[in-house]
Structure 1
């Protein structure tokens, strides 16, 4: 049965364009269109679509407000279309925090250099979201970082899932290994997942953290700034030559590749343009591989929600060097692609629910 899609945009041209792309795929069906957020909320309740594509700036009711109302009344996977500007980035992050699951640039030439590739990617994103069951998002609250010495929290957060979330097997006790760095790679669903993890880390977290999130260049400064304002640790967009320091997370800049090299006490960031034929900029595989050569077994690498298999080959190199690799469990992922690729290859030692990830990281890496 085809996945039912509601297309929301105040531009008749864009509604028609998206609708044509959706209907080209036999597994997708446009069941309605809306010209503003208020109409989208009404049609979402009436038509019960499995996916909604949503513009941000619209008359009557904007896309962010519409996301909040839809998630409160009839939770539905929502794909946002955004302009690649600083304001567009901030608005998109607001929409993700309100409950949207994914986003794409509104200009199709920004999605992929080839028009056919852009069309396929949009269809794939919609189908991936259409397979998920969503729940009302947790209301934002001021985060309280978990002290290093605290016991793991027993609180639960509801997460997007294909079935009601089921807690993964209880994480094992800390291994006793000594670590030098924490690596986290993610894609679809990653902004919310990273926020939920990083806001629980204490300001005296004893290691540097490298974050690799598939995200356009216009978005990473705004995302790093948002995380820095919410977290007890420092968060910044990585710059070439940054000296790694404990209690600071470095977000790979969009459109570039982040590596680590020798320098200073804990290592140094190296930012490069990377090969033009790379599918992902930034790429989890590249950062993981780079770290494996420098820090070997003293690495904890975590692969979170995302489409595709980026991170698998880098995790393979990390495991060969003796590093520890964890994957997010299926039930708490928006898209169980990247974690599944790592787990299915036998590279991860644990699959951990998102709500347990921060506490598990703290317990495992508490030793400075």
Structure 2
């Protein structure tokens, strides 16, 4: 089998060597070149046409965003952003995802010996998933987005108040871009709260919420312990905590719990869904988007046994990684399997 070829772009010689060693430890992947700046990165991309690029967010001579923009314009290549888990790094990384990067990984922390194996496993898995994707898909996601979003907002604000419903969305690899596609299409007065679990570190979920809030008609925020969930508001589970829901009289409140990771992730979508099982609602609308692993499938199964659930899985056509949607399809009877650009309208139809 032909090896997956990778170009590593980082201005630190130490980090280039570390990433190269981690990547080359897998027999199916090979680093064919390294670059220390944007000029070299673009030149080697055009010459070698690697299957995947790992790109440092904060290059010394030229920032990673500008380099990414040039690469996507001249030689579109699946790209993983590499960033330190700082607030600045999170902000820039999510802007890179908006500009075309597939996903990101956090650089090993100062205590490298403790987390290098975790980073290596994630890096290798994401490189393999990047190789499977088709970048042509991403160019079609936002077609007519503004026009459709405005039409949906005009139509949906005229509808009657619905029965009590809760929307739950789970995503992992490739999720930030998918969430932009879905959440920015919701009307301002959406008659349901939206609970989102995206597998990301803490500072990244805060940045994700802020960016979604800037571009969405609904209010979007990182979930806060004890707050009451309300219609028309999107709550992003904070990285490093599991987001669950507790009933408090006539209110439903966010309950953030600091228990061990589930399926290797924290937050976990399964734990959110399981916390909803005791609630008496007319319907839960569950959408599982792109991502590796099985998070959300078991929780959906448990919730469907107890109450009415409408389930949506993102289709292979647009999912960067079809793992989580595929597992949902194999675990429960899914109501719809849809490309990402049709998920929002399906959710809205169920709300009203």
Q: Do they superpose with TM above 0.5? A: yes
Label 1:349 to 1:2 Cα distance change in 2 as closer, same or farther (>3 A).
Answer: same
- Distance in 2 of aligned mates of 1:297 and 1:344: 25
Aligned to 2:97: 96
SS in 1 for 2:203: coil
2:219 to 234, 239, 246: 234
SS in 2 for 1:235: strand
Output one character per residue of 1:320-345: Cα deviation in whole Å (capped at 9) or x when no partner: 12312111001101111111110122
1:292 Cα offset (Å)? 2.4
Q: Work out whether residues 148 and 362 of structure 1, in 8 Å CA contact, stay in contact via their aligned partners in 2.
A: no
Label 1:287 to 1:109 Cα distance change in 2 as closer, same or farther (>3 A).
Answer: farther
- Distance in 2 of aligned mates of 1:42 and 1:137: 23
Output one character per residue of 1:128-161: Cα deviation in whole Å (capped at 9) or x when no partner: 111112126469899444436749xxxxxxxxxx
2:329 pairs with 1:343: yes
Label 1:336 to 1:112 Cα distance change in 2 as closer, same or farther (>3 A).
Answer: farther
Aligned residues: 341
2:343 to 332, 354, 357: 357
Unaligned runs of 5+ in 2: 157-161
TM-score by length of 2: 0.90
Label 1:196 to 1:110 Cα distance change in 2 as closer, same or farther (>3 A).
Answer: farther
2:206 pairs with 1:205: no
SS in 2 for 1:147: helix
Q: Work out whether residues 297 and 318 of structure 1, in 8 Å CA contact, stay in contact via their aligned partners in 2.
A: no
- Distance in 2 of aligned mates of 1:178 and 1:319: 18
Unaligned runs of 5+ in 1: 152-176
1:182 Cα offset (Å)? 0.2
Relative to total residues, which structure has the larger helix share, 1 or 2?
2
Give the RMSD, CA atoms, in angstroms: 2.3
1:328 to 314, 319, 329: 314
1:263 Cα offset (Å)? 2.4
TM-score by length of 1: 0.87
- Distance in 2 of aligned mates of 1:111 and 1:285: 30
SS in 1 for 2:220: strand
Aligned to 1:158: none
Aligned to 1:147: 152
Label 1:194 to 1:295 Cα distance change in 2 as closer, same or farther (>3 A).
Answer: farther
- Distance in 2 of aligned mates of 1:205 and 1:109: 43
Deviating above 2 A after TM superposition, structure 1's stretches of 4 or more consecutive aligned residues are 108-118, 135-151, 263-266, 275-278
SS in 2 for 1:72: helix
Aligned to 1:279: 264
Aligned to 2:83: 82
Output one character per residue of 1:31-64: Cα deviation in whole Å (capped at 9) or x when no partner: 1111112221221111111110000111332211
